[in-house]
C-alpha cells in the first residue's frame, strides 16, 4: 500500500490559488491516511488507461490519480475540465525498452501526419535541415526512452519545435533528443534497460518523476512547497551522486544552474540520515549563501527530527574561526590595509631592494601568506603558479627580508591572516586534533583558498565519505588556479559532471556558454566538459544592447524594467548586476526612471554568485569597466594578469547565468570585449 507523488502533480498544484492548494492538500492527506479513499468521491475515468481515477476536492477542483490495487499515485490536480482533459490525454506505461514507468501524452492525429520513416538498411535519406530527427531509427530513439507512439511525431518535428520537447516527452527522451539536435550524441544517453520483473517505478528514470511518500510529514513537506521540486525529484545522476559511497574526497561539477548546490544539500541530508550519530558541516563561502543553504536545508529536513540539528551550516571562515577560538582563543585578523602599511614601512626602512611595494604585496598575498611560507628556504622552493616574474637569489633574499619583517610585525601586534588561521588549524589536526564533524560538504568549492584546501584535506584524512565538494571552475571568480592534489586533496577519478540545467532557459544558457571554452581542465588535469548541457525549458532570446551614453543605457534598462512589470515579474524577482559598486548609480537611476517598485536587487557580479532571478539586466558592460582596469592595472605580473583576465570573463558568465527567463546585457559603445564572444553565433 503506497502513495506516490508525481512531478506533474506538483507542477499542476503550483498553478492553483493558495486556497485551492489548501483544499487539494487536505484531500491528498486523506488519501494518504486511507488509500482506499473511503469517504472521498473517487471515480474511475473512462480513458484509454484503465487505472486513471478522479477524486473530488471541491465543486470545481479534481485530483487525477492512478490507482493500482491499494497503490495510489497523485498525478494531476486542476479545475474540473482541465483535469479531465489532462487525464484523457495521458497513459501510464512502462517504456518497452528501458522499463521506466512513463506518463505518455496521447499523440494527436495531426502530429503523425506525413511522418518521414527511416527503415534500417535503406540508403541513408538526405538529412533535412529543418527536421533534426528525421533520420533517426526506431531503435535509436527507443534506446533513449522515446515512447513508441512518439517515434513518428519526433521524426516529423521541425527545428522550431525543439523547445517543446521537455513539455511533451518524458524528460530522459527530451534530454537525449535536445542534446542530439545541438551537436551531442544519442549514445551518451542510452538508458540501462530494466531486468525482467523489475518494478517500473524503481527505474532511475522513473524516480526523477515519481516519489514514494514514506510518511505524512514527507507528503506535507512536498505539498507545502510545490515550487521547490528539487526537494522531491532528483535527476538520476543527481540521485546517484547523493547516495554514492566513496572512498575519498568527491567533487561534483557542472555549469551554472545544473543543480550542484541541490546535490550538496541532499548529500548532507543523506549523510545525516544514514548514520544517526553523524555530524555534518555544510559550508560555502559567503554568509548570504550559507543563509540560503540553511533555508533549503530546513525545507528538506522538515519534520525529520534530529537531521537539521546534526547539520551545521556555516561559511567555511565562520566554522574555522569558531574552531580556532575554541582551541586558541579569539583571533584578531589583520586587514589588507594593515598588511599594505606594514610592507610600506618595511620598504621605507630600506628592505626589499628595488622591488616595488605593489609587487611585494602581490607576492605576499598570492604566495607567501597564501601558501603559509614561514622561512626563506621554503620561499625559494614554492611553486610560482600564476607568477611569471622569476626572482634571482639576491632579489628573493631582499623580498624575504620584507616578508620576515611583516611576519614579525604581525606577531608583535597579535594579528593573524585567514591563511594563518587555517594553517594553525591544519597543524592542530595533524597533531591529533579532531574536527567536531564526521562529514564536510562544501558548495562553491571552486573558490577555496590554498589554506582552506590544505585544511580540508587534513580534516578528511583518508576517511571514506568525509569530504564532498561542489563547484564549477568556469565560475572561479576570486582565486588564481592551483593544484588541489599537491595539497593532499585528490579528487582525480572521483569528479562527476552534471549536464541538465534546471535554472536557465535554453536561450540564455546557450548564449552564456559562449563565454567559456567547451571544456576546462583544472591544475590536476581533471577535465570539466561543459558541452552537452541541456536546459529543461525555453524562454525569450536574451538581448545585448550597446548604447551611446549612460543616459541612453539607463532609459533602455528602464524600458526593460517596465516590460518586466507588464509581464507580472515581481520586483523581488529582478536583479540588476554590475561589475563594481561604482556602477550602482546607473542601476539605481534605471529603477528610478522606470518608477519601479522596491525590491529590485542591485548587486555586484561577485555578490551575485549563487543567487538567481527570473529577470536579470547585466549593466555597465563598458570597455573600461569589464574587465576591471583598476584591478588589472594593480597586477604587476603578466601571467597573473592573464589569469585575472579570465576571472573577469567568469564574472560575466556568473552574472548572465543568474537569469532564469529574461536576460538583458547593456553597456556603452564600443562595450566590453567579452560581449563579442557573447554575441558570436548571432543571438542578439
Ligand atoms: N532536480 C531538480 N529539480 C528541479 N529543480 C532543480 C533540480 N535541481 C536543481 N534545481 C533548480 O535549479 C536551479 C539551480 O540549482 P543550483 O543552484 O543547485 O545549481 P548550481 O549548479 O549550484 O548553480 P551555480 O553554479 O550557478 O551556483 C535552482 O533553482 C534549483 O532549485
At 151, list the grid cell.
Answer: 517515434
Q: What residues does 543 pair with on adjacent strands?
A: 664
Nearest-atom number in ligand 1 for the CA of 208 is 1
Distance from residue 392's CA to the centre of ligand 1 (Å): 49
Q: Specify whether the CB–CB gap between 445 and 623 falls below 8 A.
A: no
Look up the pTM and report it. Answer: 0.90
Distance from residue 259's CA to the centre of ligand 1 (Å): 3
Distance from residue 131's CA to the centre of ligand 1 (Å): 31
Pairing of strands 52-56, 42-44: antiparallel
Low-confidence ranges of the chain (pLDDT < 70): 109-129, 384-389, 636-639, 681-684
Look at residue 429 and give its three-state secondary structure. Answer: helix
**Which strand (E) or helix (H) includes residue 11?**
helix 7-13
CATH class, range 3-189: alpha beta
Whole-number CA gyration radius for the chain? 28
Separation between Cα atoms, residue 662 and residue 83, nearest integer Å = 30
What is the domain partition of the chain in residue ranges? 3-189, 241-325+436-498, 335-412, 534-679
Regarding the beta carbon of 238 and ligand 1, being less than 6 Å apart is answered yes
Separation between Cα atoms, residue 119 and residue 684, nearest integer Å = 40
Q: Which residue from 663, 684, 666 is spatially nearest to 547, judged by alpha carbons?
A: 666
Q: Tell me if domain 241-325+436-498 and domain 534-679 are identical in fold.
A: yes
Distance from residue 614's CA to the centre of ligand 1 (Å): 13
ipTM for the assembly: 0.99
At 300, list the grid cell.
Answer: 528538506
Q: Specify the residue with its C-alpha closest to ligand 1, atom 14.
A: 257
Q: What angle do CA 11, 14, 17 make, to 5 degrees?
A: 150
Sign of CA dihedral 415, 417, 418, 420: negative
DSSP class of residue 384 equals -
> Which of 503, 534, 661 has most ligand 1 atoms within 8 Å of CB, for mutation?
503
Pick the CATH number of 534-679 from 3.40.50.300, 3.30.300.30, 3.40.190.10, 3.40.390.10: 3.40.50.300
Nearest-atom number in ligand 1 for the CA of 262 is 18
Distance from residue 250's CA to the centre of ligand 1 (Å): 19
Separation between Cα atoms, residue 435 and residue 428, nearest integer Å = 10
At 60, list the grid cell.
Answer: 470545481
Q: Specify whether the CB–CB gap between 149 and 109 falls below 8 A.
A: no
212-217 long-range contacts, Cβ below 8 Å, gap at least 24?
212/2, 212/3, 212/4, 213/2, 213/3, 213/4, 213/5, 213/32, 215/303, 216/29, 216/32, 216/33, 217/302, 217/303, 217/304
Return the pLDDT at 118: 45
DSSP class of residue 48 equals S
For the chain, give the number of residues.
684
Regarding the beta carbon of 446 and ligand 1, being less than 6 Å apart is answered no
Domain 241-325+436-498: CATH superfamily, name plus number:
P-loop containing nucleotide triphosphate hydrolases (3.40.50.300)
Count Cα neighbours of 543 within 13 Å in the Cβ-side half-sphere.
14
Regarding the beta carbon of 612 and ligand 1, being less than 6 Å apart is answered yes
At 245, list the grid cell.
Answer: 559511497
Regarding the beta carbon of 230 and ligand 1, being less than 6 Å apart is answered yes
Regarding the beta carbon of 610 and ligand 1, being less than 6 Å apart is answered yes
Distance from residue 500's CA to the centre of ligand 1 (Å): 9
Pairing of strands 527-529, 519-521: antiparallel
DSSP class of residue 54 equals E
Regarding the beta carbon of 232 and ligand 1, being less than 6 Å apart is answered no
Return the pLDDT at 649: 93
Distance from residue 257's CA to the centre of ligand 1 (Å): 5
Binding positions for ATP: 254-261
> Which of 166, 226, 253, 262 has most ligand 1 atoms within 8 Å of CB, for mutation?
262
Regarding the beta carbon of 233 and ligand 1, being less than 6 Å apart is answered yes
Pairing of strands 534-535, 527-529: unpaired
Rounded to whole angstroms, what are the CA distances from 373 to 101, 441, 461? Answer: 58, 28, 22
Amino acid at each position: 500500500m503506497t502513495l506516490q507523488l508525481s512531478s506533474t502533480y506538483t507542477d499542476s498544484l503550483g498553478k492553483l490559488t493558495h486556497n485551492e492548494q489548501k483544499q487539494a492538500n487536505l484531500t491528498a492527506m486523506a488519501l494518504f491516511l486511507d488509500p482506499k479513499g473511503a469517504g472521498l468521491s473517487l471515480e474511475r475515468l473512462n480513458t484509454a488507461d484503465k487505472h486513471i481515477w478522479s477524486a473530488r476536492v471541491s465543486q470545481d477542483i479534481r485530483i487525477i490519480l492512478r490507482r493500482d490495487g491499494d497503490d495510489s499515485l497523485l498525478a494531476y490536480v486542476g479545475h474540473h475540465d482541465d483535469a479531465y482533459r489532462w487525464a484523457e490525454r495521458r497513459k501510464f506505461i512502462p517504456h518497452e525498452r528501458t522499463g521506466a514507468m512513463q506518463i505518455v501524452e496521447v499523440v494527436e492525429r495531426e502530429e503523425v501526419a506525413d511522418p518521414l520513416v527511416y527503415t534500417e538498411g535503406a540508403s541513408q535519406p538526405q538529412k533535412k535541415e529543418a527536421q533534426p530527427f528525421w533520420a533517426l531509427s526506431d531503435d535509436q530513439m527507443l534506446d533513449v526512452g522515446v515512447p513508441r507512439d512518439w517515434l513518428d511525431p519526433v521524426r516529423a518535428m521541425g527545428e522550431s519545435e525543439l523547445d517543446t520537447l521537455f513539455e511533451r516527452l518524458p524528460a530522459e527522451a527530451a534530454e537525449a533528443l535536445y542534446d542530439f539536435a545541438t551537436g551531442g550524441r544519442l549514445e551518451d544517453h542510452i538508458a540501462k534497460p530494466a531486468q525482467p520483473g523489475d518494478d517500473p517505478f524503481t527505474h532511475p528514470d522513473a524516480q526523477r518523476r515519481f516519489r514514494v511518500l514514506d510518511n505524512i510529514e514527507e507528503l506535507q513537506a512536498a505539498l507545502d512547497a510545490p515550487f521547490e521540486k528539487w526537494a522531491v525529484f532528483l535527476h538520476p545522476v543527481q540521485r546517484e551522486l547523493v547516495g554514492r559511497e566513496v572512498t575519498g574526497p568527491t567533487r561534483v561539477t557542472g555549469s551554472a544552474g545544473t543543480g550542484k548546490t541541490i546535490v550538496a544539500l541532499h548529500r548532507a541530508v543523506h549523510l545525516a540520515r544514514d548514520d544517526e550519530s553523524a555530524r555534518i558541516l555544510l559550508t560555502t563561502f559567503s554568509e548570504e549563501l550559507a543563509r540560503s543553504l540553511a533555508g533549503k536545508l530546513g525545507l528538506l529536513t522538515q519534520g525529520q527530527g534530529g537531521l537539521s540539528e546534526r547539520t551545521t551550516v556555516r561559511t567555511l571562515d565562520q566554522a574555522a574561526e569558531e574552531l580556532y577560538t575554541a582551541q586558541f582563543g579569539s583571533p584578531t585578523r589583520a586587514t589588507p590595509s594593515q598588511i599594505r602599511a606594514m610592507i610600506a614601512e618595511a620598504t621605507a626602512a630600506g628592505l626589499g631592494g628595488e622591488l616595488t611595494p605593489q609587487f611585494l604585496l602581490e607576492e605576499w598575498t598570492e604566495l607567501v601568506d597564501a601558501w603559509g611560507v614561514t622561512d626563506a628556504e621554503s620561499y625559494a622552493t614554492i611553486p610560482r603558479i600564476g607568477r611569471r616574474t622569476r626572482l634571482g637569489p639576491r632579489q628573493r633574499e631582499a623580498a624575504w627580508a620584507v616578508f620576515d619583517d611583516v611576519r614579525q610585525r604581525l606577531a608583535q601586534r597579535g594579528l593573524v591572516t585567514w591563511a594563518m588561521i587555517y594553517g594553525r588549524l591544519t597543524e592542530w589536526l595533524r597533531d591529533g586534533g579532531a574536527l567536531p564533524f564526521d562529514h564536510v560538504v562544501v558548495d562553491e568549492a571552486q573558490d577555496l583558498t590554498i589554506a582552506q584546501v590544505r585544511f580540508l584535506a587534513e580534516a578528511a584524512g583518508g576517511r571514506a565519505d568525509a569530504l564532498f565538494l561542489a563547484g564549477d571552475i568556469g565560475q572561479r571568480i576570486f582565486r588564481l588556479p592551483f593544484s588541489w592534489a599537491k595539497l593532499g586533496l585528490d579528487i582525480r577519478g572521483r569528479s562527476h559532471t552534471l549536464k541538465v540545467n534546471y535554472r536557465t532557459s535554453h536561450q540564455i544558457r546557450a548564449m552564456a556558454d559562449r563565454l567559456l571554452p567547451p571544456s576546462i581542465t583544472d591544475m590536476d588535469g581533471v577535465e570539466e566538459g561543459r558541452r552537452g548541457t541541456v536546459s529543461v525549458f525555453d524562454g525569450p532570446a536574451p538581448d545585448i544592447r550597446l548604447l551611446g551614453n549612460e543616459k541612453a543605457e539607463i532609459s533602455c534598462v528602464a524600458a526593460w524594467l517596465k516590460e518586466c512589470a507588464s509581464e507580472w515579474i515581481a520586483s523581488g524577482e529582478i536583479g540588476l548586476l554590475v561589475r563594481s559598486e561604482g556602477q550602482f548609480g546607473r542601476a539605481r537611476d534605471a529603477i528610478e526612471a522606470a518608477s519601479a517598485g522596491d525590491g529590485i536587487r542591485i548587486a555586484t557580479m561577485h555578490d551575485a554568485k549563487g543567487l538567481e532571478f527570473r529577470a536579470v539586466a547585466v549593466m555597465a558592460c563598458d570597455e573600461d569597466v569589464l574587465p576591471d582596469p583598476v584591478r588589472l592595472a594593480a597586477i604587476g605580473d603578466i601571467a597573473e594578469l592573464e589569469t585575472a583576465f579570465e576571472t573577469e570573463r567568469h564574472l560575466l558568465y556568473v552574472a548572465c547565468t543568474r537569469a532564469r527567463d529574461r536576460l538583458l546585457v547593456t553597456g556603452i559603445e564600443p562595450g566590453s570585449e567579452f560581449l563579442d564572444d557573447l554575441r558570436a553565433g548571432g543571438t542578439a
